Amino acid sequence: MKYIGVMSGTSVDGLDAVLIEDSPNLSVPVKVLGHHYQPWPEKTRTQILALADGDPMTAQSIVALSQAISEEHAFAVLQLLQNTNTAAHQIAAIGMHGQTVWHQPPTGIQLGYTWQLGSPSWVANRTGIPTVGDFRLADMALGGQGAPLVPYAHRLLFRNSDAPIAILNIGGISNVTLLDTDVTVPPVATDLGPGNILIDSLCRLHTQGTQNMDRDGLYAKRGVVIGSLLASLLTDPFFHKPFPKSTGREYFGSQFLSRFDGVNHYDAIATATMLTVQSIVQGIAKIGAPSTVYVAGGGAKNPLMMKQLQEGMSPIRVTTTAELGIPVDQVEAVAFALLGRACLLKIPANIPKATGSSHATILGVLAVPESTPFSAH
C-alpha cells in the first residue's frame, strides 16, 4: 500500500511531503517513492509565526489562516502525485501533522493541550484521499505530552539488533529517540530543547528578515560563544525537568530570545548554536549511551553544529539518517505517513514511556472524502 506524509515543524520554513510504499506484512524499511518540498508563502509564514508567538489575532483571521494552511497541504500532495505520476486512488491515506501554533504540556494534575492548524477534512476533499490529522490530542487526553510521536516510526524504520542507536531530529525543537537492541523494549524518547528555533529567529532579526536561517553555520562561525551567557541559558528550568517532556515555540520564542538582547549578532548566533549542541549532549547523556547518533532535520545540514555535536559526544559516532537510507529532510514526513497508516489500521501508535500517557492508544482523526475532489489551487 502507498501512503503520503506531510510535515511542517516549528521552524515554519515549509512543507515536506513524501510518498511511501510499505510491504504487505508491514515489515520495514518502507520505500520512499517521492519527495516534494514546498516553502510557505511569506504572508502565511509571517502569520503563523505571529500567532505562535502570542500576537493577538481575530477568530476570522485564524480561520482564514487555517484555510490557507489546508490549501497548501492539499497543493503539496497534488504536486507530489504529479511529480511521481501517481493517481489519488492509489493512496490509502495521507498523514498530515498540520502546523503547530500552540503546545501546552500537562502541568501537575492539569491535562495539556495542543493546537495544529490545517483541516484533514479540507485536505481529504481537495485531494480525494482519506486524510488523518489531529494526531497529538488522543495522547494528551490520556495525560500525555502529545510529543514526541515519531518514536513509533523510528522503531519501525531504524531498529538495530546489533547496538543501541539514537535518532536525533534537529528541527525548530530538538528531540531524540533511543532504540534498544531488543525490539520488545519501548523506545526512550523526549524533546531536548531548542533546535534551530533560536538560531533562525536571530538570523531573521539581525538581517531584517532577509535570511531565515544560518546556512552552513556561516554566521555562527564568524562569532564567538559567550561562555557566561551560555552557562546562564543552560540553567533554565526546562533543561532540568525530568523526562518525558515536550516544548515548542511558545517557550523558546520571543521571551527566551530576549536573553540575547544587546549581544553582537554573530556572537548571539554562535552562542545559540552551542546552546542547542550542549542541551542535546547533556540530554542524551541522561537517557542512555547509544553507539551512534543519527541526525535528521535542518540541523543535520549545518556542518558546524554537526562538528560540535561529534566533539561533544565523542566517542559516540554522529552521522545522519541518510546513512540508514532516508534523507534528513524526509524522516518526519515519513513518520507521519506511518502514523496515518497506523490510524487506518487501528494500531496504537503512541509510546506511553515517551509521552507519559496512561496507556497506548490509536492516534489521529480520519476524514474520508467525497468521491470527486474539488481541484485545489
Segment 252-286, tens digit of pLDDT: 988 999 999 999 999 999 999 999 999 999 999 99
Q: Which three cell numbers stand for residue 212?
A: 531565515
Cβ-based neighbour number of residue 117 at 10 Å: 22
- Residue 107 has a pLDDT of 87
Average pLDDT on 200-213 reads: 90
Is the confidence at residue 3, as pLDDT, over 70? Answer: yes
Is the confidence at residue 308, as pLDDT, over 70? Answer: yes
- Residue 300 has a pLDDT of 97
Average of per-residue pLDDT values in the chain: 94
Residue type present at position 100: T
pLDDT band at 108 (very low <50, low <70, confident <90, very high): confident
Query: What is the 3-state secondary structure of 253-277?
Result: CHHHHHHHCCCCHHHHHHHHHHHHH
Global pTM reads 0.94
Q: Judge whether 214 and 295 are in contact, CB under 8 Å.
A: no
Q: Which three cell numbers stand for residue 124?
A: 481529504
- Residue 220 has a pLDDT of 97
- Residue 252 has a pLDDT of 95
pLDDT band at 371 (very low <50, low <70, confident <90, very high): low
Q: Judge whether 150 and 169 are in contact, CB under 8 Å.
A: yes
Q: Model confidence over 157-194: pLDDT tens digits?
A: 998 878 999 999 999 999 999 999 988 888 999 999 99
The ranges of the chain annotated as CATH 3.30.420.40 are: 2-148+330-367, 151-324
- Residue 25 has a pLDDT of 56
Strand ranges (E), 158-307? 165-170, 173-179, 188-194, 292-296
Classify domain 2-148+330-367 at the CATH superfamily level.
ATPase, nucleotide binding domain (3.30.420.40)
Average pLDDT on 36-45 reads: 96
The CA distances from residue 276 to 13, 26, 310, in Å, are 19, 36, 13
Fold of the domain spanning 151-324 = Nucleotidyltransferase; domain 5 (3.30.420)
Is the confidence at residue 27, as pLDDT, over 80? Answer: no
- Residue 183 has a pLDDT of 81
Q: Model confidence over 346-361: pLDDT tens digits?
A: 999 999 999 999 999 9
Report the distance separating Cα 150 and Cα 281, nearest Å: 20
- Please name which of 8, 9, 15 lies closest in space to residue 35, comparing C-alpha atoms: 15
Q: Model confidence over 226-240: pLDDT tens digits?
A: 999 999 999 999 999
Q: Judge whether 127 and 73 are in contact, CB under 8 Å.
A: no
- Residue 373 has a pLDDT of 56
- Residue 210 has a pLDDT of 86
Average pLDDT on 291-295 reads: 97
